[in-house]
Structure 1
């Protein structure tokens, strides 16, 4: 089984690069190759232009200039927080521990043990332990996934500020698009072992390379269509080509990127069935289904009755079209 295919990217010095994708896309495999937890079988891993690992030459993690932070922190339970943070420091540098406790918001907690700290505090300690020895690269695998959503937002904000202040080159794995946008300076979107797009958060949000990337960051829906004269044949009926923004790709099949708030519902006895209407205040989110079971969500301010039938109409220039992947 091939986990990664022709993957190549550069994590800029001093920046945070996020590897984003669903489970099984290869993001953790890529991180583990850099960390030395897996052996490189093809290609190479470089740090600062120097080869770190290649086939037949795979130094163990402890011999690499990298720091590691895992989902659960993985602190030594028999050591105090100060002991954990100072673990990778030379004896003459142990005085730096208090400074790291302060940087991660754990001042006065150095004498405590991991089980005496909250999940968020444990992750802060794990971050300090990984950064204290001054690694050339910090590798983080889903570092905020084990804490609740409110704490997670604060933790990742504080983490980003600290990493940027210290100028630490960081590669972080996440499956959460919001987290990647919130933390990353660059994002590599991965699908099926490949990087489908690499760029800044603004690049990916405003100029997605594929419909699937656009759906990840814009909260849009993807629908397959085909050209039929001056119209697009979609599972929801014929749509005018004027609904597409920009040029229409020269492809037999198209992926349409559609935002719920750019669609309108018009009563139609032969239209789609309304399955659910969910009020959102000023507007309502409406779920419709056609006879083949395909669904589309529309966000509208017009009154829509559950159980009724409607035609879905896109607004002019509201849809992005890509060659079908």
Structure 2
């Protein structure tokens, strides 16, 4: 999803003449978002590689011979995991929502007079107040051909549309087409040679401050107190803890896989760990879809409810051997 988002806005960034400082700020915002995924993955792989090497060198067997339990061997990794959990919780619950809102606001400001840069041929492009579809685009995206526009409660079908910058937004200058609009209980149509629709940038921006998806945890908790029926806010709050606690599950999986597959070398352990990482986020995505379709906000806990018991059972089995 993030990669798709980056590709979508890359044309906007370069076509607007973005300066170096803006680019660095956007990259910093993206890095904070990516940390939500890279930190758990890095932790799991580091634990897996460390204990795989210890197993190959018989250090684990020597430790057990000296009377150390499997839990004692894992204890140092668990302590480190807890420290990583606190760091990740701070990023997920506070830094990431702020960075995500700042990132999108920055893109909106950069795209102020270059909305057309985000267009693609044969693809619907939607903003807050209008939708546009173009069959063909000029090389600089300033002109579109065979265009369908949904704007100001009107449907415009035009052979050609030119994008014209204005002081506080942009205008769509449409040529040779029809405009369809509703009048009471009927739908009317009118032919035009030239039709101009003006959009102010303020009409296109989105107030991220009032969206639970972009609130840090302190504001989110206050929002839930005043809007106790908001499943969106509850979903965002639960998701913060699901993503943060993922480090405990992935850490345990990395440790167990190291003790189980060290004879097969580091490669197999890494592959198994990465597979577990992918499964976790596939289940998390499935939980999001359950929420989107059935409004079940606690479905976001699905990866934890499935993988954590499996990891605990595998750990117990390894402890008894």
Normalised by the shorter chain, which TM-score bucket?
under 0.3
If you compute each CA radius of gyration, which structure gives the higher value, 1 or 2?
A: 2
Per chain length, whose mean CA-contact separation is higher, i.e. which structure has more relative contact order (CA < 8 Å, sep 6+)?
2
